Amino acid sequence: ATNNINIGSAGVVTADGADGGMISMKASTINLSGYISANGLSGSGGYIDLSSNEFYIQNGRILANGSSGGTISVIGVSAGLLSVSNGFVQTNGEAGPGGTITFTTLGDISLINSTLMANGFSAGGQVKLVSNSSSVALQNSVVQTNGGNGRGGQVGISGSVNTTLINTQISATGN
């Protein structure tokens, strides 16, 4: 992919339905200030796959909620930056388990003033932030995989060089 995808603040990409649909985007750079959703209105959340050399969320939202949470996968295909600033990413399960949020790259992952949620009614979901060759930094952010009536979910944060958490709340509680 050699082109860029830019979704501005008024931009909306949706695949909402009874069960959430599938959205796949591949480009050199993806810039998101708008809204992407694959929500299940009465069934499971959908699947959102974003693949790029560099990925930027600035005040953007990505949602794959449903009765069971969906899947959001952001893959950095090179050593470019995956940056989320004032972003909101959510795969909550309203009646079942939370979904999965995965950010994987060779470059840096940076979350500032952002929220990642994979909460579930029955059990928490999973959030993975992995830099295979660089660093992961979270500042003033929230990561949740809580289970309302079951076990808490899983949170995995791994930087090959550094992993830095500043004023960040991480919870994977269950009941």
Indicate the DSSP class of residue 131.
E
Specify the pLDDT at position 54.
Answer: 94
Q: Where are the beta strands (DSSP E) in 120-166?
A: 126-131, 136-139, 142-144, 154-159, 163-166
Residue bearing tokens 């953007």 = 60
Which amino acid appears at position 155 of this protein?
V
Specify the pLDDT at position 80.
Answer: 86
Specify the pLDDT at position 74.
Answer: 96
Task: Please tell me the pTM assigned to this model.
Answer: 0.97
Residues pairing with 164 in the sheet: 137
Sign, CA torsion 163/159/85/102: negative
Q: What is the pLDDT along the chain (175 residues), one digit of tens a residue?
A: 569 999 999 999 999 999 999 999 999 999 999 999 999 999 999 999 999 999 999 999 999 999 999 999 999 988 789 999 999 999 999 999 999 999 999 999 999 999 999 999 999 999 999 999 999 999 999 999 999 999 999 999 999 999 999 999 999 999 9
Instruction: Name every residue whose Cβ is closer than 8 Å to that of residue 116 and which is 6 or more positions away in sequence.
Output: 89, 90, 101, 127, 141, 142, 143, 144
